[in-house]
A and B are shown apart, each in its own frame.
Chain A
Amino acid sequence: MSARGRRSDTVQFAPAEHAEEQPVELAVIARQAGVRVSLVRHYASFGLFEPCSGTSDAPLFEPRCAGRLAKAERLRRDLGLNYAGAVLVCELLDRIRELEDRTDRDLEPRA
């Protein structure tokens, strides 16, 4: 592996943020995911995520939607999937993770 482009081994940063953050607008999701607003709308129309609050004219989304959107787009580009396929894979991955978390919790010894 090339050593180029690797980040420093130690990273120190400002106070951690909670995942439970304020809902954000579509444009913020687009900026954080590194895509165009129209692409966010397109994925939303396939049900990748839904507004958590706001109005139909100005919907608001959970900040974590940006990561979900970027994941779908990576899968679409890298694996040659269409939009519906990328959304389906994301949903199945969520389901797998949920089941794995549940299994892990069940297997953990309890005091």
Chain B
Amino acid sequence: MALDYKDYYEVLGVARDASKDDTRRAYRKLAREYHPDLNQDSDAEERFKEVGEAYEVLSDPSKRDRYDRLGAQWRARQQASGAANFEDFFDQGFGPDVRVEFGDGAAFSEFFERLFGEGAVASARTGRLRGLDREAVLELSLEDAVAGGRRRLSLEDGRSLEVNIPAGVREGQRIRLAGQGGAGRDGGPPGDQYLQVRGDDLDVELAVAPWEAALGATVSVPTLTGTARVRVPAGSSSGRRLRLRGRGLAKQRGGHGDLHVIVRIMVPEHLSEQDRELFEKLADVSEFDPRQGQG
């Protein structure tokens, strides 16, 4: 990747003669806006790093002086020769004079590391710290949730993970992928990636005809392990829950939960002549009032 000049003053939105207080104020404001613990946007972490790097340089008088000298020479070179290549300029002229080696590893930009030496950040920060825990939603079918298995999923940061889904996970549960979160700081351990499980509801709706609900009927219901025959008791209204014991999701500690079948009474959208006559006759003779007692 080509090395570009970074304008740290522009990143923080401050003037080149900004005081230390102005710089700190600008940094704090932008840090609050882009801190990855506060901002879930996909580019927030990158912006936050950029802001942190700019503040690291502009808040340290010796780094700022070195950076200002680089900037002045770079601009002078640009004005003299038009659109010069910054990497050539850095390697052939300014760079070697100002580079300082601080030690091992740093997570700042290549521009920063070329200018100040890898590890300058580590020396400036106050110690190692675990990285960000990340959250993602794992959508599962009921079958996957019951049986478990492997699933490949893409995360917001572009990584692709192959996940072993434990059998019996449930809606709302979280799966922790240890060490798969954000990178640690200054040698600190990485954070964890959490997957929040969202699966199909264990409630199954059962459509029944009005006469089935009134008279009772035995009907077929799809379950996780095939079709079951369910007895709908006579006098079942919409919303009645029928429990199929042991036909639900696998439990963590063995066995299975229950599957709830919810009765929903359906009527024909278009009545045949005979149906209409029968319904009208029923309406004439029936004393049933579903709104009785509702005032």
The chain A residues found within 8 Å of chain B, CB to CB, are 1-5, 7-21, 31-35, 63-64, 66-67, 70-71, 73-75, 77-80, 89, 93, 110-111
Contact = CB atoms under 8 A, between A and B. Distances in A.
Contact of B183 (A5, A11, A14, A35): A5
Nearest to A73: B129
B110 interface: yes
A73 B115 CA distance: 29
Contacts of A17: 175-178
Contacts of B163: 16
B160 A18 contact: no
Contact of A11 (B131, B160, B173, B192): B160
Interface string B245-276: 00000001000000000000000000000000
B158 A9 contact: yes
Contacts of A34: 127-130, 184-185, 188-189
B contact patch SS = loop
A81 to B, nearest CB: 10
A10 B161 CA distance: 6
Contact-residue bracket for chain B: 35 or more
B175 A75 contact: no
Contact of A1 (B46, B132, B173, B194): B46
B4 to A, nearest CB: 10
Interface stretch (B9-17, B32-40, B73-81, B226-234): B32-40
B97 interface: no
Nearest to A74: B37
19 contacts: A3-B1, A9-B160, A10-B161, A12-B162, A13-B162, A15-B166, A16-B166, A18-B175, A19-B174, A19-B175, A21-B176, A32-B130, A34-B130, A34-B185, A67-B130, A70-B131, A70-B188, A75-B38, A111-B205
B100 interface: no
B37 A18 contact: no
B176 A64 contact: yes
